[in-house]
Amino acid sequence: DAGVIQSPRHEVTEMGQEVTLRCKPISGHNSLFWYRQTMMRGLELLIYFNNNVPIDDSGMPEDRFSAKMPNASFSTLKIQPSEPRDSAVYFCASSPGSRRETGELFFGEGSRLTVL
């Protein structure tokens, strides 16, 4: 099992540029989560999907952030335009849990974003 795959692992960009982070969940998992981690705010849940449908996006900071899950094997988190305060490690996690029961989360290695 390849685990949750995220890309890119590192991204350095300039303020105002568009950033797209990608995630491939573990096959068969039907829940997918996007988290952001910073020293100041810890691990924040941004959005999560169940069966490719966004269930709760209340953690998305603002309109500059958007996330999609076009199919069961792929999700993207987009930031447009990016700002220095978006610098963080973004984690994707998947879970075999159903809508009613969230099981263990399996995390990817994370995407470290630096916005200059």
Stretch that binds other proteins, among 11-19, 64-72, 77-85, 107-115 (CB under 8 A): 107-115
**Which of 41, 6, 25 minimizes the C-alpha distance to 105?**
25
Residue 17-56 contact track with other proteins, rule CB under 8 A, x = bound: --------------x-x-x------xx-x--x-x----xx
> Is there binding between residue 100 and other proteins (CB under 8 A)?
yes
**Which of 75, 70, 83, 93 minimizes the C-alpha distance to 19?**
83
Number of residues this chain uses to bind other proteins (CB under 8 A) = 26
Strand ranges (E), the chain? 5-7, 10-13, 19-24, 31-38, 42-50, 53-56, 65-71, 74-79, 88-95, 106-107, 111-115
> Is there binding between residue 90 and other proteins (CB under 8 A)?
no
> Is there binding between residue 94 and other proteins (CB under 8 A)?
no
CA–CA gap between residue 86 and residue 93 (Å, rounded): 19
Nearer to other proteins, 81 or 112 (CB): 112
Q: Which two tokens stand for residue 93?
A: 């996690």
Positions touching other proteins (CB under 8 A) are 31, 33, 35, 42-43, 45, 48, 50, 55-56, 91, 93, 95, 97, 99-110
